[in-house]
Structure 1
Amino acid sequence: MRAIVYDRPGAPDVLRLTDRPVPEPGDGEVRVRLALAGVNPTDWKSRSKAQPGPEGQVPGQDGAGTVEAVGAGVDPARVGERVWVWEAAYGRPHGTAAECTVVPTAQAVRLPDAAPFDLGAALGIPFLTAHRCLTVAETGPDRLVPGALAGRAVLVQGGAGAVGNAAIQLARWAGATVITTVSSPEKAALATAAGAHHVVDYRHQDVVAEVRRIAPDGVDAVVEVAAAANAAATAQVLAPFGAVAIYADDGGPEVTVPVRPQMVLNARWQFVLVYTVPPRAKELAVEAVAAAVADGAVRVGEEAGLPLHVFPLDRAAAAHQAVQDGVVGKVLVDVTA
């Protein structure tokens, strides 16, 4: 099979197209014939720093395709099932930047016939991260369903990013009032398309004043991409028992929080890395995202606030570079091209 592999850490040019044996599924595993693979920031960060195993590493956590073989203990009826794949390359050599990948059966989730493969390949890491961010508040739900966030206000910092887009769509599906921040009119249009009720341009508006105008009692959850830059403002807009879920360090590697005011609120500042999320929380996230897809509540494309940038497999290095450069939207690799 054709696959992208790297055998040493480095820049995108360490990625090479090669031919590898088709992997066989082991006990409890399925082999997926991929149509599209998603590219996430953790893909290029791992490629830049992590030493791959002796066989080299096929990158790519997310993807979508069709189950074509199953291992022992897996229902043979899964063969032919359309699926979305998550965390394929975490601790495993077979990522999704290849014609086939092998994953535990729970990591290949049924994709409804009405859902296109580009949606399936865009789910994985961004949507599971967003679900975790929206469910860490002490007084909030541990799983999203319609109505789970009714009566609650959510602030999504950076609503034009992939996780921000996922958080807007999931929070809207769960019934929250969704506020998001952006840095330009173009990104405001994307956040609005994703479903945000209120959009604040932080370059031209006072975020604290605007959020407090919309949610006078404060917001119950903050999905935070740049905690170091936003902490002072975020601390002023939290509701009692509110939670700040920090899933990235775009604003810098260290954050300063005003301790006493957050003590008074009994606020929670929670760090989120989807790969090491507690297993039960991850199970609930997968179930919720699958349910949202089945409901038709999540979408991709510019009309959904998430422009798609699709590269053929032999240009996987360019796909990595696009994500590394901060392209707005979702980068996918067409494994079949």
Structure 2
Amino acid sequence: MKYSSPIKRLIILLVILIPNLGLAQSKNDTIKPTEVWPDKQGNHIQAHGGGIIKVGSNYYWYGEERKKGLDTNYRYVSCYTSKDLVNWTFKNDVQIAKPDSVLVHWVIERPKVYYNKQTKKYVMYMHVDGGVKDPVTGKIAGGYAYARVGVATSNKPTGPFKLIKTFRPLGHESRDIGQFIDDDGTAYLVFEDRPFGFRIAKLSDDYLNVEKEMSLIPAHMEGGAIVHYKGLYYAIGSALTGWSPNPNKYATALSLSGPWSDFKDIAPPETNTYGAQSTMLIKIVGTKQTTVIFMGDIWKPKTQWDSRYLWMPLEIGEDKLWLPKPQPWTLDVKTGEAQVIPNGK
């Protein structure tokens, strides 16, 4: 079939415009906590127990990949990128192979990535655990008996990452981990050392080792997260209740080495943190204001691929921290302004 020139031009114009219109329609300016959060491809974001870094103008979100149909011989860490913390593009799943024959049915949880400006390496820390084979007896010990961190490195933020080792930081057990980068750029690891509490430790200059313990907060908590806001450190944690949510709490200190205050609720205790568990505190320093975002997971253990996220701007300052009731909200990363939408409208 032959077309006249005007019709040809119209067809060409539509071919060009329709994809661009689709992209424009897919852009979103609202974060809707507890709801399905689609990436730019329309798929629910799979970055659970995750962490976020900013390199240049790009944010990178790494987390546990929980989608269906994954090869169970491996564990995967997902990577997404964004410029506004609202609209995310899936980049790839980082495939972490078994490091040696000692680990059987192992798990990877709460991956956190740091960018080292000196080495120009991306360094991933993760909780490594699960069934472990005794090298002498060959028997497998179940549960979370391994309790280590794994370290992987990459030349690019999107991988591939190569697992280089697993170890117990400073000789201590390590389960849930969190990351914290202070205003001066110093990098720290937060890790749960049962039954003592959670520890804050400084990383070595190349980020490949845990160099120095800053503090042990003697509270039986996991999901540790820290932010430095107006001269005060705020630490958040979750009680040890497995998949079930609980009232997350916070403490404050003038220094990472403490002393730390008593813990207080971050939300009405009867809400169990609105069903979420802390994983990170994100500080956005804008041209007009600074906003601190609570980043939490709403776990669904029986349908893990449908686990949700609770992100909300915190009410914070003068030794107080409060998580408002989840509602849709907007964020301008340039100005640092966050605006809750009344009644979700």
Higher helix share: 1
TM surpasses 0.5:
no
Higher strand share: 2
Q: TM-score w.r.t. structure 2 length?
A: 0.29
Q: TM-score w.r.t. structure 1 length?
A: 0.30
Higher RCO (C-alpha 8 Å, min separation 6): 1
Larger CA Rg, structure 1 vs 2 = 2
